[in-house]
Structures are given as C-alpha cells and as structure tokens.
Amino acid sequence: MQLESEALGASADEPPASPSGCSPDLQRLADLKTFRSPGRGFWRDVPERDWNDWHWQLRHRITTLEQLQRLMPTLAPEEIAGTQLANHKLALAITPYFFNLIDPADELCPIRRQVIPRVEEMNLAPWELTDPCGEDAHSPVPGIVHRYPDRVLFLVTDRCAAYCRYCTRSRLVSNASGYDFHPDFDRQIEYIAQHPEVRDVLLSGGDPLLLSDEKLEQLLARLRAIPHVEFLRIGTRIPIFLPQRVTPELCARLRRFHPLFISIHTNHPRELTLEARAALERLADAGIPLGNQSVLLRHVNDDVIVMRALVQKLLLCRVKPYYLYQCDPIAGSAHLRTSVARGLEIMAGLRGHTTGYAVPQYVIDAPGGGGKVPVNPEYVLSRNRDRVVLRNYEGRVYEYIEGASPAPAYKRSENFDAPEFD
Ligand code: SF4
C-alpha cells in the first residue's frame, strides 16, 4: 500500500536489485530493506530549516486527540478511546517526522501500533506489572538502578521524543501516571563515585539525547572524571524518532568521551529511513560503536522476514543488532505481546540464515528484577561425557566427539548416564 507521505513527494533509494524470478520472500525482503524518506506529508509548507530543526519537531509533536483526528480521520474507535485515556497512563507524543511513517489506511501499520494508544492498554492481567524489571527495588538513589554487579543504569530524564505504547518504564516516562521523577545528578554521581565496582554507566530515561548539548557534555565529563568508570553508554530512540537531533555539533561533543557506546531502539525496518541512516552514519563517523535493541511485538515484527530485513538493514546503517527482548509484561500490553515460541521461531529463522553479526541475542528480562536471561532455540540435542549431538540451522544432526579431552579426574560410575536435553 502506498503511504500518503510517499504520494506527497517522499523519496527512496533504489530498491536492492533482486534476481529475476526471485521468491516472494526475497522480493518482500528487498522491499523492506529499501531506504525511504517519509517526506513532509502534512507539513509540506514548512520551511526546510524548520523541518530539520529538532526543536521545531519537538514543539510540533502530536500530543492531543484533536490533532491526531485532524491529521488522521481514519482513526479506529479503539484508538480514539485509547488516546482519550492516554494522559492518565502514558502520554501521547509523536514527532511530525515519525508521524509521516504511519500508513493511515492500515490499522495494523507496524509504526502506528507502536505509538498510537489503543483502548486495550486498559486491560490489565493479574500477572502484569507497572515495574516489570523490578527497577524501583534496585534503586539505592533516585535515578540510579544498580541491579548487576559492575554497572548501573543512570536515568537522566522522564521525557522522550515520542512514547512507545509498550514502554517498560511507562510508570515513569511522560509523568502521565504521576510518578514525578526528578533526577538529582549530584546524588547519582556521588553514588557512582562511592562504588568502585561500577565500571559501566548506562545513561537512559526517558531519552538522554533530549538534554541540551551543554548539559549532556557536562554530565558525561563528570562521569568520565570518576577514575573507576571505564565505559559509558547511552540508550536512545532519538535517531529513530528525531534524527534531526543528531547534529554534527552533538557528534563532535560525544566523541570526546570514548569509550562511549550508543544503543538505539528500532523494531521495524521501515523505521530505518534515509534520515535515520544519515543520523546513524554521523554517530558511527564519530567513532561511536552502535548497537540496536528491539522488542518483539505482535503485528509489528513477529515475522521472520520482517526481522531478517530489520537486522540486515541495521548492518547497512553500521549498527550491530544487540538484543531482541521478549516484551515485558508491562500493564496493558497484552495486545502487543507475542509468544516466546514465536520468538524462538524467529531466532531459528535468523541463526545460520543470515550473517552472524546480524543475529541479536533473544532475552527475557526476568520479571521482578531477575535481569536478562538469554533464550535460544535448542541446538544441543543431547550431551554426555564423550559426545555432543548437535542440530544445525537446517535441522541436520551432527556429533561432536570429545574423546580427545583429558580423562576426567573422577571415577566413572558404572551406571554413568549423562543427562539428555529435550
Ligand atoms: S523511547 Fe524508550 S523510554 Fe521512551 S517511551 Fe520508548 S521505550 Fe520508553
């Protein structure tokens, strides 16, 4: 289906050439991997300078039902009801740039499902949680989450350029539910300075790249000045929601704080536009290693071809697919969650079928604060002291003999029978 914004002058790279007579899957993959610009859409009369100004984009975000209905008369009743309730749960906000990626004619549009509230968000299951990762219980100081031994999460703001309907931190971001988050950088930095085991600090939020250049630089400089902090990271969705923010000036400031890594968050290949690719290239050119975190979402990316296109397109943008998260059981997210079995099928459709660098680690963040647990399709069919029986990506079975290993120091039991894995 043609996007309305394409009809309004959006541009695209040439789709990658596909061999004549290629399968429908290959054709679909090539189409999903084509870099397009969403164009100006409803903002076609806005001067170029304003459109490319990240402050302008933030000032003109869609934040009310009235704005949304004016721009998108095709809103479904479930979306209208969801938007009416959003300001008490997780606010509505969409940048004009990102809004133009939505297909108004498709209620299942994967971009639309991520940012337009639906009334199903009000359905709460007993096992759903407002803080599924148990962050508040691991927070010694407001804005610091210390859950793993050698690293901390440093929350810098509760604001994002746009709000994802499945956000695991929706109790906090946008302040719609009255969490009233106020970071105190002095206390947060003091905590890190007093904990020499902390060698890795991940700035997150909310979105740290919404801070001004000056404020971000000051914060990074203070963290860099702590001798035991080896490694800085920023988690951000800015290159996807607001690529205009990734200015050459910002990149020039960030490059002073290496080793500095950035984790972006992308769920569907359509989010990787010409503009997003250019923003990511600016960051990569500043020497910043880039990784991506995706959340597995129903009718967004729970499809092998979509996920294959996403991970391959990320590599084209010089971004390593890092994690694929099973969607946390955040309150009101059942309509966006998909099964772990589906996640495993998708992983099996990536491993071996595409470049190893393109394969993320599938993880479940153990509810209640257990941390990330890797989940993999089963490739080890059985194992005993002498041999491992393996299944490869094509389903063929192979044996790895361990006979050459040094003899174990213990006496083998007469009835030795190594456990088998299903
Ligand atoms: S950008 Fe990140 S923190 Fe902000 S709403 Fe989306 S998932 Fe949550």
- The number of folded domains in the chain is 3
Question: Tell me, what's the pLDDT at 369?
Answer: 86
8 occurs within a structural domain: yes
Q: Does the residue 401 lie in any domain?
A: yes
> Does residue 416 register a pLDDT over 60?
no
Given the residues 133, 160, 317, 327, the one annotated as active site: 160
Domain identity same for 107 and 234: no
Q: Which domain holds residue 388?
A: 378-422
Residues 295 and 361 placed together within one structural domain of the fold = yes
Over the stretch 317-346, which tens digit does the pLDDT of each residue have?
A: 999 999 999 999 999 999 999 999 999 999
The Å distance, Cα 271 to ligand 1 centre, comes to: 15
Tell me how far CA of residue 346 lies from CA of 343, 349, 352, in angstroms. 5, 5, 12
Pair (106, 253) in one structural domain: no
294 and 321 in contact (C-beta within 8 Å)? yes
For ligand 1, atom 1, which residue shows the shortest CA distance?
A: 237
pLDDT tens for each residue of 277-314: 999 999 999 999 999 999 999 999 999 999 999 999 99
Q: Could you tell me the pLDDT band of residue 4, with boundaries at 50, 70 and 90? A: very low
Q: Residue 187: what residue type?
A: R
In the reported structure, the alpha carbon of residue 163 is separated from the centroid of ligand 1 by a whole-number distance in angstroms of 6
Work out the mean pLDDT of the chain and round it to a whole number: 92
pLDDT bucket at 9, cuts 50 / 70 / 90 = very low
- Asked if 400 is an active-site residue, the reply is no
Q: Is residue 285 part of a domain?
A: yes
169 is catalytic: yes
Is there a single domain that holds both residue 279 and residue 350? yes
Give me the pLDDT at residue 20, please: 60
Q: What is the pLDDT of residues 220-240, one digit of tens each?
A: 999 999 999 999 999 999 999
Give the model confidence (pLDDT) of 376-400 as tens digits.
999 999 999 999 999 999 999 999 9
Active site residue 160: yes
314 and 219, same structural domain? yes
| Mean pLDDT value across residues 175-196 | 94
Ligand 1 neighbours (beta carbon < 6 A): 160, 163-164, 167, 169, 173, 205-207, 237, 265
- Residue 2 pLDDT exceeds 70: no
pTM value is 0.91
Asked if pLDDT for residue 370 goes beyond 70, the answer is yes
Q: Which of 89, 92, 169 has most ligand 1 atoms within 8 Å of CB, for mutation?
A: 169
| 87 band by pLDDT with thresholds 50, 70 and 90 | confident
Among 291, 294, 289, CA closest to 308:
294
Catalytic residue flag (residue 237): no
Based on the fold, state whether residues 208 and 100 are members of the same structural domain: no
Assigned domain for 282 exists: yes
pLDDT at residue 417 in the model: 44
User: Could you tell me how far CA 241 lies from the centroid of its own chain?
Assistant: 12
